[in-house]
Amino acid sequence: MRILFIGDIMGRTGRDALAKHLPELKKTLKPDVVIVNGENAAHGIGITPDICKEFYALGVDVITTGNHIWDQREIIPYIDRDPKLLRPINFPKGTMGKGFYIHTLPDGRKILVVNAMARIFMDAMDDPFAAMNELLNTYRMGGVVNAAFLDFHGEASSEKMAMGHYLDGRVSVVVGTHTHTPTADVQIFDGGTAYQTDAGMTGDYNSVIGVKKDVPIHRFTRKTPTDRMSPAEGEATVCGLFVELDNRGLAKKAGAVRIGGRLKPEMPDF
């Protein structure tokens, strides 16, 4: 199984870059599953039903999110109708939507796609480690599903790396999102789980994590109220992670994906 994950889509420029480059990536990498994080897709905060439909039309199979999932209020009545749009699994019980989805490939193979949110420097949430352990006790690789993927949305690299090692051998991939900066630590852990601390954003890197520079610089230097932050509008770099699995659901190869925009291109050669 070949999995392509694209990191946080940031505003219009990120959506345009996805539309431009995803067909090329699908042709080159031939993924069986395409997953994107869409929590910043609607002008940098949240996602809308129309954007979800736009992503599915491009060939996206599952959309993950994070702490901005509820920022566009129209998503609240929609999320229960779209099982492929995930919110973090460790929201309190009773929260609308779901934190996981089982995607079935045309040949019948199944992949468990999960979204969880970290807690360090983030909103107060239920324990993501306990939530993942409970879920994997039911949906085991090699049993109910052939593979398992986690988008772990969080600020602290230590917490994300701890989750990767905690799940090593029990899931196929653990990849971090939220910081909007791609890390250089793509690797396969001893137990066979592919890992990257943060896939980076799909957005304009001539910015402050995807936002036009003036407002965040003013906030840091003056500590006074400013205009609302808005996404930078230059050409975006598509950032992500590509992983090839063996027949046990464990990673054989993993590589970073970067195409377009300002960052140095990188493309897996497998």
What are the structure tokens assigned to 170, written together? Answer: 């029990």
What amino acid is encoded at 18 in this protein? Answer: L
Query: Cα–Cα distance between 149 and 100 in angstroms, integer?
Result: 10
- Does residue 39 contact residue 65 with C-beta atoms inside 8 Å? yes
Mapped onto helix, strand or coil, the DSSP state of residue 69 is: coil
68 an active-site residue?
yes
Query: Measuring CA to CA, how many Å separate 113 from each of 45, 61, 99, 238, 243?
Result: 22, 10, 8, 21, 14
Cα Rg, the chain, nearest whole Å: 17
Query: Measuring CA to CA, how many Å separate 148 from each of 193, 211, 248?
Result: 10, 32, 11
Per 3-state DSSP, what percentage of the chain is helix, strand, and coil (rounded to 5)? Answer: 25, 30, 50
One of 21, 43, 68, 165 is an active-site residue; which one? 68
What amino acid is encoded at 163 in this protein? Answer: M
Question: Helices H, strands E: what count in the chain?
Answer: 6, 11
Do strands 2-6 and 33-37 pair parallel, antiparallel, or not at all (unpaired)?
parallel
Residue with tokens 């890992």: 195
The dihedral over CA atoms of 205, 28, 57, 86, expressed in degrees to the nearest 10, equals: -60
Query: Cα–Cα distance between 184 and 186 in angstroms, integer?
Result: 6
Please give the positions annotated as active site.
68
